[in-house]
Structure 1
Amino acid sequence: MEKLGLEVLAAGFGLGLVWLFLARLRSGRARHGLRGAYFSACAQLFQRPVTAATPGGFPRLNGGYLGQRFDLQAVPDTLTFRKLPALWVLVTLPVPLPLRATLDVMVRPTGVEPFSNFHTLDEQIAPPPGFPEDCALRSDHPSALPPHDLLAPHLGLFDNPHVKELVLSPKGLRITFLAEEANRGRYLIFRDAELGAVPLRPETLLPYLDALLALQQDILAQETAPERRTA
C-alpha cells in the first residue's frame, strides 16, 4: 500500500512537471508573439515597411517616411545593476552626410549601454555651453566636429527625459530613447522582466522621425550655404 502511494505521488509529481513545462512553453510562445508585434502599430507611418526578426524576439523595421528610409530597432537591457530592466528604441536615419567626424551625445552614461557604441569612440569632450548638464560627449575626431550653432537648435530633444542618446556621423543620424521599463512590483517580487507586451504607439515614435529629418536638413543646408560654396 505504501509502495502504491509512492507511485501515485511520483506520477503526480511527474504530471506536475509536464504541466509546468507546457505552461512555460505556451508562455514563451505568447511572449515571442507579443515581442514580434512591437512595431506593428508604427508600420502605418512608413511606406513599404519591411520587418525582420532578431534573436531577442523583437522586430527590426525598415521603411520610408517623407522620402527617407528609416531603421527601427528595439533593444532590451536587463543588466542586473539597473534599477529596472529597460527597453530602448533606436531610431536611425542611415543616409550619407557631409560630416567628417562622429559625435555621440549621451545623457547619464552608466558605462555599459548595450545599444550604443559610445564607449568605443576614442575621445571624450567637455560639453559646450547649452548642452544638458548630465551629458557626456565622445568623438572619433574632435577637431572636425560640426559647429555648435548647427547643434544648438536641436538640443531641445533632451528636454524629453526619455531621450538617451543623439548620434551624428558621416553615415547617418540616430536617436535612442527609453520606450519602457519593467513593472516595478512584478520585477522586485517575481523578477519578471517582461518588456514589449504593448506595441509602440505611432504618436510616440513620430517626433523622433521628424527630429532626425530636421537635423539632416540643417546639416545639408549648412554644407551648401553661400559662405561654404565660396570658401
Structure 2
Amino acid sequence: MITTLAFSAFIAACGIGMGARAVHDHRAALAWRRSLLDEAARLFPVARITHGADQFPILVGKLEDGRQIKVELVVDTMVCRRLPQLWLKLTLLEAAVCARPRIGALARPTGAEFYSLVHDMPHWFTPPPTNAALLMRGDGSASRQQVERATAMFGSLFSDPTLKEAAITPRGVRLVRQAAQGQRGAHLILRQARFAVTAIAPEIIRRTFAEAAALSRCLADDIPISPDTAAS
C-alpha cells in the first residue's frame, strides 16, 4: 500500500514538473517571438511594432517620402520533407497607386506557398536563368518592355539563394526571403519549429529594403537601377 502511494506521488510530482516546464518553455517561446524585430525597428525614425495572434511581431515604418514599409515573419511548416522555414516578408507600399502591372517570381515553387502573391497571378512568363527553379507570372497587362525589365531585375535578385519571392503590384512591392531554418533535432524528434536566431539582424532588413526600392523603380519610366545602386 505504501509503495503504491509513493509511486502515485512520484507520478504526480513528475506530471506537475513536466507541466511547469511546458508552461515555462511556452512563455519563453512567446517572449522570443515578440522581440525578433526590436533591433530592426531602430532603422526607421517612425516605426511601431504590433503582434499577431501567434505573437510574431509586425513592424510598420513610415518613410520621409510618404511610403510605408511593413515587415512580417512567417513560419512555414507546409512542406513535409523540408525543415521548417522562417520567412521574412517585407512590403514597400507606395504613397499612391502606380500605373504598373502585377508581375512576380517565386523560387523553388511547391504549390504550398500560402504567403505567395505569384500564385494568384494568371499569366505565365519565361523566367530568367537562375541556379534555382523559378516561376514567373503576372496579370497579363505588362508590355513587352516591362516584362523584359522585370525579368532582368528578377535575374539579379534571385542570384541570392535566400530570396524566395519578389513581386511588383500597383500598390507596392514585396520580397520574401529566408530569415532562418528550423533546427533539425527539434523538427525530427519533437515535430517543433525552433529557430536558432535571437533577433533579425538590421542588416538583413536594410538589404531587403534596398532591393525592394530597386524593384519598385524597375518599371518606372526612368532607367532601371540595380539593388547595389539602391543600397549605396
Q: Please classify the TM superposition score into its range, dividing by the shorter chain length.
A: 0.7 to 0.9
- Aligned AA (1:13): I
Instruction: Identify if the C-alpha distance between structure 1 residues 50 and 82 changes in structure 2 by more than 3 Å, giving closer, same or farther.
Output: farther
Matches of 1:163 and 1:66, distance apart in 2 = 27
- Contact 1:108–1:134 (CA<8 Å) still a contact in 2? yes
- Give the aligned partner of residue 183 of structure 1: 183
Pick 1 or 2: higher relative contact order, CA cutoff 8 A, min separation 6: 1
Instruction: Identify if the C-alpha distance between structure 1 residues 58 and 18 changes in structure 2 by more than 3 Å, giving closer, same or farther.
Output: same
- Aligned AA (2:123): E
- Contact 1:180–1:195 (CA<8 Å) still a contact in 2? yes
**Structure 1 segments of 4 or more deviating over 3 A?**
65-68, 129-133, 142-145, 189-192, 217-223
Q: Percent identity?
A: 24
Q: Deviation at 1:101?
A: 2.5
After TM superposition, the structure 1 stretch with the greater mean CA deviation from structure 2, 56-65 or 118-127, is 118-127
Please, what TM-score do these two structures have when normalized by structure 2?
A: 0.84
Number of residues of Structure 1 aligned to a counterpart in Structure 2: 220
Q: Deviation at 1:151?
A: 4.8
Q: Deviation at 1:51?
A: 0.6
- Give the aligned partner of residue 5 of structure 1: 3
Which structure 2 segments of 5+ residues have no match? 224-232
Q: Deviation at 1:179?
A: 0.7
Instruction: Identify if the C-alpha distance between structure 1 residues 97 and 218 changes in structure 2 by more than 3 Å, giving closer, same or farther.
Output: farther
Which structure 1 segments of 5+ residues have no match? 224-231
Q: Deviations over 1:109-152 (max 9, x none)?
A: 0110122133222233332x556662111222255572413552
Larger radius of gyration: 1
Please, what TM-score do these two structures have when normalized by structure 1?
A: 0.85
Matches of 2:79 and 2:121, distance apart in 1 = 25
Instruction: Identify if the C-alpha distance between structure 1 residues 156 and 73 changes in structure 2 by more than 3 Å, giving closer, same or farther.
Output: same
- Give the aligned partner of residue 85 of structure 1: 84
Matches of 1:70 and 1:182, distance apart in 2 = 26
Matches of 2:215 and 2:79, distance apart in 1 = 35
